[in-house]
Structure 1
């Protein structure tokens, strides 16, 4: 692979995996504006590994507490807030798994167009803006109930529509049920862990069924760069939303979506 390709793809993955701006909307532009061939499944797996490593490292203390408490709860030692949060993460992941499995052919064949991506960027961006402006509350990720989790979980399934943004739609849903900006973002990031594991696992299965030559230097650099950028994005996103909220990302989504619609369809 071209080293410039490695860097650009890793940067795009690292930034768009966690910001509410849609990775699919940005990745679709790479083959449009460059002469590069498809990077292959192996490199996709490497980029996902970088993002996964970043979110696990950033939330390592919360993850350890959830795992320890969940194991204790399974042994009958009671359910504390950390065990409950771990259960909520697992439950909220089920809708996207089920709907993604049942509708994967429909999504792959009919929904990966620039029209759908552009419309999704604008529509779900405006919804995020509304939720942040009118509906956000003060509750943290530890204060959720079953109804909240189901709403967020089924909202996450909407991210199967290209251009929606997984982090964007889960943050939107969390804000709509009364969570704070920080609580909504933190739960969205925790939700990304099983989703990235499943997505990366599916790509790894595809890689095993269709073996290809692996460019190990590119894989290693892509993983490290994607992970570093993703970690920084998580950190600074949580800082930015405390001061500015979601509106800068809403403006970006709407402008970018309208540009995509104009560029490809007018």
Structure 2
């Protein structure tokens, strides 16, 4: 079933670290050539150097996904270098800590631009190239916070819920139209990346609040990025419409279905116990 990936080309954002870097390695091992994007040029080159050891062609593209001109130019750059593209993985993401009233409006908009608007604009830019292929895939990395919405995550959940809705509606449209392009929406649980430590925090946050914030994330970010990438790679290979990454994501999604209004009463209590033990 994974044969369609071999010899294909994957364009991956946020490939300089975390899930994006691990996914690049996983797809390279499956025989995919890579076009890797990240604003962190140093991290990007490290990922590329490692992926090339699998014997595939890798190009790097250092730009920020908030740069609309760079996003618009990227598909042609990939086409010029690789001749085609078969997978677009919208993985780049950021976090902002704090409640809705604490988060500055500019920070809220900044997060939405990276976590939601960038995947939409890149999907629009790449779709004509993807549609040329016998089989192609758009992979949008949402989050378990695109299924549940904890307190203190209004910005992040807003973007990830929106990305989920966009992905599902787009998938239905493409299926209806008989397109060769399918859509996979990914909902990782607690994956051990730098997204929490690099998150923006409210200007007025105290050291105690910051310490509690880091303690909470440390308690839940447990899965290795390589394990998450393997699960995502398997989902892409079988062209799955949705994938929950990690036991915690599966449990949270189940509780949300079971108690769609009151699920946080149970998940929040479990999280509090895990933080206390950490």
TM-score by length of 1: 0.32
Structure showing the higher helix proportion among its residues: 1
Structure showing the higher strand proportion among its residues: 2
